[in-house]
Amino acid sequence: MAEVVRLRDEYIEATKEYKASLQKLLTLYQDSVLKAEERVNQSQKLFSENLLSKGELERSEKALADIKQKVIGVEQQITNADASRQQRGRTVTVAFKFICRY
């Protein structure tokens, strides 16, 4: 019984650490989005002044789209980590109640 509780606690702690690292990664990606948006704005200005090629503008726009996709991916991982922790918590609770009966 104590082993189940210990494993549950370890799982909860590992999930919290995982989520914290995802939050840090999310912050980094969000900062990158801001920088990429600035680059796109600068590229659009230079393009409108015929100082930048269409290809260069498209590359900066693609870089922005790519980093936004990374943000979405990390947000989904955070959501999944929360859902997984909740599901595991319910599973461990059911297992614990079953073990306590016997």
10 Å CB burial of residue 48 (0-12, 13-18, 19+) is exposed
Mean pLDDT of the chain: 88
In this structure, of 15-19, 67-71, 74-78, the range with the lowest mean pLDDT score is 15-19
pLDDT by residue (tens digit) across 91-100? 556 665 656 6
Q: Are 4 and 96 a contacting pair, CB within 8 Å?
A: yes
Domains in the chain: boundaries: 2-96
pLDDT tens-place string over residues 45-74:
999 999 999 999 999 999 999 999 999 999
Q: Work out the angle at residue 25's Cα, subtended by the Cα atoms of residues 21 and 31, and round it to the nearest 5 degrees.
A: 150
pTM of the model: 0.76
